[in-house]
Amino acid sequence: MGTITRAFANNITTSGVFTSSAFNNDSFDNVTAVPSGSVESGSMVLVSSATASASSSIEFTLGDYKEYKLFFVNMHPDADRFFKFNFSTDSGSTYSVSKTTTFFKTRHYESDAAYEFGYEAGYDLAQSTADQTLTEGNLEGDDNDASLSGYMHIFNPSSTTYVKHFMANIQQLGKPDGSTRTTFNNYIAGYANTTSALTNIKFVMTSGTIDAGKILLFGIN
């Protein structure tokens, strides 16, 4: 296959549609618009958002997007808590979907006295309907400047054929020994072991309330 033919083929999908990279100022100087449906595209749409204010939980409805992405911005508890989530398959009547997950983290003390990278077996789940933990150790509520931020992906939650995969990356301020301020970066992933559509997701603290913070839910085509 010649160089020109190979370059041309790389800009066409298997269904015969031009990819967006095929159109640029060098290849089509005079093109001002592309016919609808002729170029592969996608979009990220803000579906919903919620701002916590002494909230016992924050819940979102999931729909037919192939992927959802949630952003957590400065989530702060009323006291030292764990931040968790669970799914529902019955429009939020119950949150008890079986999940198998993994959890590992990095951490580094403000004092530089300790640092660590490792798996956290105490925070994973094996076919459990319990809430999945997103924080390593307590998220600080007593320190007014402490919070967590991060993001989470959920893939094809409306599928009635496959299990539902998810992954999250959470950055937090914690105190593993009860006194030393520490940065944690947590990586959580797994799947909801159900072929029923996931209809809702709920975020809670271990107890008490989500004192402050914002969660944004985006759908991706």
Which domains are seen in the chain, by residue range? 1-41 (no CATH), 44-220 (2.60.120)
Q: Token pair 């007593």 is at which residue?
A: 142
Q: How confident is the model at residue 219 (pLDDT cuts 50, 70, 90)?
A: very high
Distance CA 201, CA 210 (A): 16
Would residue 196 be called left, alpha or beta, if left means φ above 0 and alpha means ψ between -120 and 50 degrees? Answer: beta
pLDDT digits (tens, 9 = 90+) for 90-141: 999 999 999 999 999 999 999 999 999 999 999 999 999 999 999 986 777 7
Give the 3-state secondary structure of residue 153.
strand
pTM strictly above 0.75? yes
Q: What percent of the chain has pLDDT over 70?
A: 81
Distance CA 165, CA 153 (A): 8
* pLDDT of 4 strictly over 80: no
Distance CA 117, CA 93 (A): 38
pLDDT digits (tens, 9 = 90+) for 25-65: 554 455 555 555 544 456 899 999 999 999 999 999 999 99
Q: Which of 156, 150, 151, 153 is nearest to 221 (CA)?
A: 156
Give the 3-state secondary structure of residue 211.
strand
Share in percent of the chain as helix, strand, coil (round to 5): 5, 45, 45
> What per-residue confidence (pLDDT) applies to 178?
76
